[in-house]
Amino acid sequence: MEHIEESKSRQVAEEAREAQWKRESFLRDLFLGSFRIDLVHPYPDRPVERREFSDFYKSFEDFLVNRVDPVAIDETGEYPPEVLTELAAMGAFGMKIPTEYGGLGLTHREYERVMELLGSYDANITALLSAHQSIGVPQPLQLFGTEEQKRKYLPRCAAGAISGFALTEPGVGSDPARMTTTAEPTPDGRAFVLNGTKLWCTNGTLADLLVVMAKTPPHGRISAFIVETASQGVERRRCHFMGLKALANAELRFHDVVVPRENLIGAEGQGLKIALVTLNTGRLTLPAATAGGAKACLEICRRWSNARVQWGRPIGKHEAIAHKLADIAASTFAMMSVAELTADMADRERYDIRLEAAAVKEWNTVRGWQIVDETLGIRGGRGFETERSLEARGEPPVGVERMMRDSRVNRIFEGSSEIMHLFMAREAVDTHLRVAGKLIDPKATGREKAFAALKAIAFYAVWYPTRWLGWGFWPRFRAFGPLARHLRFIDRASRKLGRSIFHGMLVHRARLEQRQAFLFRLVNIAMELFAMVATISRATRMRDEKHDAAGEARQMADLFCRGSRRTVISHFHDLWHQDDAIKYSVGQAVLSGKHTWLETGIVGLGRYADKLEPSNEKVVQAGSRHSRVQSIDPPTSPALRDDQGHAARRRS
């Protein structure tokens, strides 16, 4: 039974993913061992700033500084009504909506600049605006909606009607096959009747409109609907979290909610595909916002390291802190580079950015969290102290403590780190599965295997030798000056990455999908190489433009790439030399209860035992004993992020 459920989950996930690559992708080629520098260099020019955008940007910045109090929003846990009203009046809810529907019509790069600014100042409003525009009603409607739907709803959204996205359920995160919310057609076929529960819907308690995913008969596939929260039968309960105290995140319950058929987005059964395609650009807010946060951290650390004196010298003069400052600066430059590059790709018809968007979301949020953690360490006790407490003692109210609480969820929003890795890993092996998948498919017939063998021989006879051949040494890339050696490393590493993926398939065969640690290392290598080339390309662009900070940018790129090379080399080593097997064995032993003696001497969770054993638990055999363990999402479920967030996905 468990195997059947896993197969069904895999089938649902496979049907939802985009099967074809109709446009170019830097990371897709990189996973195949091909370093296509022409896809990321020259680094995009900064576009000529439109007057409409510069006016909005300036007014938005003034609004943040003069009208928004992040400390008060954090303390009260509410968005002030006047702030919401002013955001709507200036068009902030319609930044990405075309002007023909009442929006501002910003490009992705313009939108990312605004979100970078906002990310440096207030995470609560970042979550509000991002959830509304990137995966709320506006984005899926622009991509898949009818003209009638666009004219009905987009002007409302642009004017300030807040929206959200509802996919996750209490028992369902990244495994949509287990979704229980249903939308049954009425006898006359003019509407659907919606029933079910959704969890962690960002903006859910404020939203006028929702995109809701539900199963529709007779096939049981998932469809997407626009739901008015004022409809009879919609119930909302707010969720509260460690950070983002004002986040209007909700548990939603639908009791016989009537949804007109014209509110169906796309065709029946296309809901998951709509969600995934929407996220290709929807994920780009977080990289920009975290880059803005990194910039803010850099300023905090620089100023404090000059002002704070220990042992007769500013702490920044001590090597330990100086090294931290250097790493924060280099990482900030890299975060800016990949975020801006990917946003530019999203504005061009040339690219399919499904992998780049996932990579920059994952890489920037991880780096951003590390930078916040280092910032708190550099600030010491003042980093742990609240702004109000600092101010009461007469010190500047620098909110590192609030920043840390608000930042951790970024690695969960729009797909947790684990889900992002699984999504990218699935795409990494896509070509190999299409060429030779039948060879490792236990269900394939002998004839299918024979045909697949011939196909594989023809492909790999050409592909595999070229992953060894190639010149990744001097004088290649010499036009990049001192940074050329890092590009030569990327070229060699890309071919090794392609070979390693192939070798992994040969060694692990059908079990490869279960080797998540192996796959995750491959993904980490690709993300690091992407960040390296983006950073080098940007520094080179600054050099060619004779930018005043060109020399400093080259130094930042060089320092960043030096560290990334060591990271890549370490990941390559760990592909074949690690403790994965014993870690899995010990993990399963812990799961089975063999090490509960380690939990003695604590005030445990026994008082919640009944609630900690949900009905979807299964009895499994663990050695000679039976243990109850909660069923988990299958490891191959691609990337339906825990939609709005495992614990509060900020933007649903």
The per-residue pLDDT for range 525-567, each reduced to its tens digit, is: 999 999 999 999 999 999 999 999 999 999 999 999 999 999 9
| Range with the poorest average pLDDT among 13-27, 378-392, 412-426, 585-599 | 13-27
Mean pLDDT of the chain: 90
Look at residue 476 and tell me if it is in a domain: yes
pLDDT of the residue at 612? 78
The Cα-based distances of 63 to 56, 60, 76 in angstroms read 10, 5, 20
Q: How many domains does the chain have?
A: 1
**Alpha carbon distance 286, 115 (integer Å):** 8
> Exposed e or buried b for every residue in 177-205, given b needs 16+ CB within 10 A?
bbbebbbeeeeeeebbbbbbbbbbbbbbb
401 catalytic? Reply is no
Joined tokens for residue 135: 């995966």
Of 21, 43, 106, 16, residue with least CA distance to 355: 21
- Pick the catalytic residue: 6, 340, 401, 414? 414
Structure-token pair, residue 532: 């390296």
User: Does residue 286 form part of some domain?
Assistant: no
Pairing status of strand 209-216 against strand 163-166: parallel
At residue 494, does pLDDT exceed 60?
A: yes
User: Residue 148 has what pLDDT?
Assistant: 97
In this predicted model, what pLDDT tens digit does every residue of 453-490 receive, in sequence order?
999 999 999 999 999 998 889 999 999 999 999 999 99
Confidence of residue 610 (pLDDT cuts 50, 70, 90): confident
For residue 500, pLDDT over 70 is answered with: yes
What mean pLDDT comes out for the span 166-190?
Answer: 89
**605 versus 376: which is more confidently predicted?**
376
What pLDDT shows up at residue 650? Answer: 35
* CA-based end-to-end distance of the chain: 32
For residues 344-351, average pLDDT: 93
Q: Are 268 and 95 in contact (CB under 8 A)?
A: no
Residue 467 backbone phi and psi in degrees, to 5: -80, -10
Which segment of 314-318, 414-418, 551-555 scores lowest on mean pLDDT? 414-418
pLDDT digits (tens, 9 = 90+) for 95-121: 999 999 999 999 999 999 999 999 999
- Please check whether residue 199 lies inside any domain of the structure: no
Do the domain assignments include residue 244?
Answer: no
Report how many helices (DSSP H) and strands (DSSP E) the chain contains, helices first: 23, 12
For 373-381, what is the mean pLDDT? 97
Least Cα distance to 196 among 163, 171, 221 occurs for: 171
Q: Does residue 542 belong to any structural domain of this protein?
A: yes
Domain that holds residue 465: 15-43+426-581
How much is the pLDDT for 13?
Answer: 63
Residue 108 lies in a domain: no
Instruction: Report percent pLDDT > 70 for the chain.
Output: 91
Q: Is residue 627 assigned to a domain? A: no
- How is residue 560 written in tokens? 């960043």
Query: Mean pLDDT lowest for which of 86-100, 190-204, 317-331, 595-609?
Result: 595-609
pLDDT of 649: 37
Range name among 182-186, 187-191, 508-512 with the lowest pLDDT average: 508-512
Q: What is the pLDDT of residue 619?
A: 35
Domain holding 535: CATH number?
1.20.140.10
Given pLDDT bands bounded at 50, 70 and 90, which one contains residue 439? confident
**Residue 587 counted as domain residue:** no
What is the DSSP track for 598-648?
GGTTS--SGGGTTTTS-TTEEEEEETTEEEEEE----TT----TTTT-SS-
* Average pLDDT over every residue of 237-245: 97
Is residue 14 pLDDT above 70, yes or no?
no
